[in-house]
A and B are shown apart, each in its own frame.
Chain A
Amino acid sequence: MLVASVVLGLQTTLFNDLRPFGVMAQVMVLFAACAGVIYGAEIGAVAGLIVGLMYDCVLTTPLGLASLVLGATALVAGAFPYFVRESSWWNKAIAVAVASAFGEILFPVAQALVGLGGWVQWRVIGVALIVALLNLFLAPLLMPVVRWTLKESLVG
């Protein structure tokens, strides 16, 4: 929880200010995707749901929506270990990037499903691609943190 709070703090301050190409890097999505890629679907989903609930508390969207989205993102990312047994760090980074793009597209769709329409636009694809690219570079930095955090809590 404490590590996730620090990551959330980075999301609301540093990454909120730095917006390359007008798009914010989504480190909370990155955290969930990393959890899924490293520890599989089950642990990933639990981590994604908890991290998402924390993210919900600082968003203006309905409480619980980001939790479901990040849970689903981690679940999708958790499919990676089933397909690649001997994975290298760059394999995992690519998988995290793909899962991040999925999560970023899923968010406006989820908003539309609960009645907050207007965000499902073609722009979403561009945003998802940029988020995927940013998370591709950030994943190698965050993966050791996620590995250590979840080893101490959920896995251990």
Chain B
Amino acid sequence: MSAISARRKRAIALLSLTSIILVTLDLQGSGSASVLRGTFGVFFRPIEGVTRVITRPVSNAWHGITHYNAVTKENDLLREKIAQQEGAAVAAAASVRLSQELLALNGLPTLAGINSVSAQVIGDSPSNYSQSVEINQGSDSGIKVGMPVMNAAGLVGKITKVFPRRSIVMLITDPEYALSVKVINNPEAASPIGDPEASASTSSTTTTTTTIPKPQATSNIPGFTPGTTTMPLTTVNVTVNVPSLTPTLTVPANGALPVRETGILEGRGSSRVPIVRFIDSAQRFGTILPGAPIVTSGGSLSLAPPDIVVGTVSKVTDRLGTAGPILEINLVADLTNLSFVRILLYQPITEQVKP
């Protein structure tokens, strides 16, 4: 009996030690962990597939019982929303096209120029402490770790693990997720730079007199004089506005110039909304109001290209000193109900391997 107990204790010690070594190897980014997962996947996927088929009726019955009222209500709301947005979408599409053309004309990167792969979400993380989903496209489709993942609404997350025919997507709400974003503040909140007293736009009116020659009819062609280079003069008064030379720059109070500031978006788990930190509390940026849109900032070090819509500011928590405010974000993508996603085959310049 004691021999059996000793053998079991040895087994416990061996298994514990193996687990600790595996944790260390995986945290160091060793490939052996991926190999082990891949090998287990080959054995486990068929079992999972069969189980999924067998248990699907139970899942469907459960969803039918628990979500029927919510789905009916949601359908009504969505129909109303679609009706509202149909008109706006046409105008928005035209604006986006114009914007992309302008960016392309100026040689600036646009989302339209980035190849993408569509994928279906085939599973959530089977844990209460991880915010990730599994998709049915992998390295065979050109997907690499770090690539941004979107749905029709906006940014969803990024690729964290890639297998030949599937990938793991870390959602924005995961506490491990961080991304550089920019807040586009409401123009109303922008304040002028320079001397506040001299900030008002000033101009002076100057009247100049310009002489325009009056044609003299000396031929059959009205207004044309053969061999004549000088023409009689007619006096016309022209009013020209000349701006004053006061050295002030004015951001229009109600103008169309949105003010942008960058910060870092961080996930905080499924029960709490993501936040944006490290926003500069500069005077130019003005007061951030709820509803201000948040988009990715892009850049050579950022894993996402610029101008992917992330969400809107839902709450602003001011902090003392130069710490800057903390912004709570309402994500535009509904992460609880993901079906299809699009993976942008984008890598920042610093990550691209030269041939």
Contacts and interface: CB of A to CB of B under 8 A. Distances in A.
B47 A42 contact: no
Nearest to A108: B129
B19 A71 contact: yes
A75 B194 CA distance: 69
Nearest to B37: A57
Interface stretch (B48-56, B288-296, B318-326, B346-354): B48-56
Contact of A9 (B9, B48, B129, B272): B48
Given A24-B126, A111-B129, A117-B175, A57 B44 contact: yes
A104 to B, nearest CB: 7
Contacts of A58: 40, 44, 126
Given A14-B51, A42-B8, A116-B176, A68 B126 contact: no
B12 interface: yes
A156 B321 CA distance: 68
Given A42-B8, A60-B170, A17 B59 contact: yes
Interface string A73-91: 0000000000000000000
Contacts of B12: 42, 45-46, 49, 71
Size range of the chain A interface in the assembly:
35 or more
Main DSSP-derived SS at the B contact region: helix
Contacts, number: 155
Main DSSP-derived SS at the A contact region: helix
Identify which of B12, B36, B43 gathers the most chain A CB atoms within 10 Å of its CB: B12
B20 A64 contact: yes
Contacts of B272: 121
A6 B51 contact: yes
Contacts of B174: 118
Interface in B263-283: 267-272
B41 interface: yes
A118 B269 contact: yes
A18 to B, nearest CB: 5
A52 interface: yes
Interface in B138-165: 160-161
7 contacts: A42-B8, A54-B44, A60-B127, A63-B33, A65-B19, A118-B175, A121-B269
Interface of A: 5-6, 8-18, 22-24, 26, 42-43, 45-46, 49-50, 52-65, 67-68, 71, 104, 107-108, 111, 114-119, 121, 123, 127, 131
